[in-house]
Structure 1
Amino acid sequence: MTDFPFAGLNLAIATPFDAGGRIDHARLEQNLERYLALGVPGFVLSSGTGMHVYLSREESDELVRRGSKIINGRAKLIVQTSALLTDDVVARTKHAADCGADGVMVLPPFFEGPTDDQGIIDFYTEVAAAGLPVIGYNVPHAVGVTVTPSLLADLCAIPNFCAVKDSSGDLGRQASLIRTGLPVMNGADNLVPFALWSGASGLIWGGANFAPRTALALVTAAMAGDWSKARAIWTVLEPAMSLIWEGDYVQSVYAAAELTGYGAGAPRKPLRALSPERIDILRTALGTLVEREA
């Protein structure tokens, strides 16, 4: 795992918004500096948790430009460059490279895109030629494409294709990908310790927005092989990580981050902030995390 360029925790940072729904770049800098001070080794900008699909191309490009400048080489930087048109994905990827990103995360073609293996391979081959390491994305419930072990092997044969992020939420399927010996990153918050124990190469973790200190402690213990400690830490994290995975994921991450002091405002429309009743449930699930993260 340590030889993988994006090993350990890569925090899929929530894009901060002000009361008017505009990107709050000052809050972005504040949150990034706090995460960096804790030792977070990697970040994903314009991620799903960061509301990538609800950012304009111009907003995403500016977010990447500013975020990269703030990080300034102090951590790894992955940028999501997914788009409907392949040419747009390539252009976004080249912009990320110009900004100093270390890699990009890219969904397969979605919204009635190709679902056959060769169509997926051709797409990622074109994107990878843009010059940055590419992390593919296995999220079949969202895009209708399943990365199988055989497809993963074909993808990893593409120069610059470096891993697949598995957000299927199915540990058995993720384990089948890991057994290939090829790089697999876990993207399911409720599976973090199990994925690490199974041999995942790294994590892209949205829930770490609201529990960065505790998430780092878990990853550190797991990477050191101290599974008793990792299990004890997971008992603190698990109620909240399982709850957010049940539904309203992005809204829940934003709400939980407000409760633990890493607020990013409210999610952008059309998503709505959580109801007071749901926030009470979330507060209960957070338990001692509020105090631990202070």
Structure 2
Amino acid sequence: MTPLFKGAAVAITTPFSHDEVDYATFEKHVNFLIEEGLQALFVNGTTGEGSTLTEEERLNLIRSSLKVSNGRVPIIANTGTNDTKASLSHSLKAKEAGADAIMLITPYYNKTSQRGLIKHFTLIADAVGLPVVLYNVPSRTNMTIEPETLVELAKNPHIVALKDATGDMEYLRQCKELLPSDFAIYSGNDDAIIPFFEGGGDGVISVLANATPKEFQEIYTTFQENPAKAKELFEQILPLIKSLSVDINPMPIKALVNHLGYAKDEVRLPLVELEDDARAPIEQAYHVFKGE
């Protein structure tokens, strides 16, 4: 099985103007990210404020991504919710809109068991028929996909990858040990990509790559031939990664993307824009990293 991608992908932000999606700026950003070397785009996720988007907005963002990409990279739509029927509906509509694959988060709030996860993911994967990336982010959902559960899910021909945002390298080790070699595992944590690559990870689905796409792909590519050099490149970008921890994602990256001209500094409630004293250190870290 060929992986959806190897290397760096991005969880892309969604630009707003007066509380409306700014599709022109979004398309400009998509083209920038692809031209700078990113290998895939994840649309309508946490970083894209997907939970605050209308159904029409989510579908239009998928269509806009596909139009600009024009087959250059996979467009992967985040369609998971804590409701199986809603997740299935979102997924089928994303398929109709042309998405190359979907990503499904573990149910949150009304959590389920590991048996429930298997039924939830399997029902959607079988009905939709697109490649599925599972999303394990216990810091947001308060539940995890156990490695043994992943083994069962990986038997489904449509479930092909995992976005692992646990930050737990022992979890990665167990998954790599138990899962088939062609099941892709991507880091969901920018600050852990070197140990993740060392553990056999296939890439990263990055937040910061909204602003530094070329650099994230370069770290992955360099690691394949020269891990020591890749570590040096990572150490150079690490202060910028850490600068985004000033507040809750996607508020900090939205401020930086705004600074670069790919969004207005606008988020949807319950998120709020960063205060100036929080924004300035991020911008400074970016310019220091860029040597400007």
Q: Which residue number corresponds to residue 166 of structure 2?
A: 168
Q: What is the CA deviation profile of residues 186-218 of structure 1, one whole-angstrom value per residue up to 9, with x for unaligned ones? A: 101111122112111232111100111211221
Kept in 2, the 8 Å contact 1:189–1:245? The answer is no
What is the CA–CA distance in structure 2 between the aligned matches of 1:31 and 1:37, rounded to whole Å?
10
Q: What is the CA deviation profile of residues 90-129 of structure 1, one whole-angstrom value per residue up to 9, with x for unaligned ones? A: 1221222223222111112222131x11100000011101
Kept in 2, the 8 Å contact 1:267–1:273? The answer is yes
| Overall identity of the aligned pairs, in % | 25
Q: What is the CA deviation profile of residues 133-164 of structure 1, one whole-angstrom value per residue up to 9, with x for unaligned ones? A: 11111111211221121111111112311122
Q: Which residue number corresponds to residue 134 of structure 2?
A: 136
Q: Which residue number corresponds to residue 187 of structure 1?
A: 188
1:279 equivalenced with 2:279 (yes/no): yes
Give, in angstroms, the shift of residue 253 of structure 1.
0.7
Match of 2:35, SS? helix
One-letter amino acid of the structure 2 residue matched with residue 243 of structure 1: S
Matches within 5 A, 1:80-91: 80-91=78-89
Match of 2:10, SS? strand
Matches within 5 A, 1:1-80: 3-18=2-17, 20-80=18-78
2:124 to 114, 127, 141: 127
What is the CA–CA distance in structure 1 between the aligned matches of 2:82 and 2:148, rounded to whole Å?
25
Match of 1:179, SS? helix
Runs of 4+ in 1 over 4 A off after TM superposition: none
One-letter amino acid of the structure 2 residue matched with residue 75 of structure 1: V
For structure 1, which segment, 175-184 or 50-59, has the greater mean C-alpha deviation from structure 2 after superposition? 175-184
Q: In angstroms, what is the RMSD of aligned CA positions?
A: 2.0
Unaligned runs of 5+ in 1: none
Match of 1:268, SS? coil
Give, in angstroms, the shift of residue 244 of structure 1.
2.2
What is the CA–CA distance in structure 2 between the aligned matches of 1:274 and 1:179, rounded to whole Å?
42
Q: Which residue number corresponds to residue 204 of structure 1?
A: 205
Q: What is the CA deviation profile of residues 48-105 of structure 1, one whole-angstrom value per residue up to 9, with x for unaligned ones? A: 1101111122211221122222212111111100123222211221222223222111
What is the CA–CA distance in structure 2 between the aligned matches of 1:146 and 1:48, rounded to whole Å?
17
One-letter amino acid of the structure 2 residue matched with residue 235 of structure 1: E
One-letter amino acid of the structure 2 residue matched with residue 204 of structure 1: I
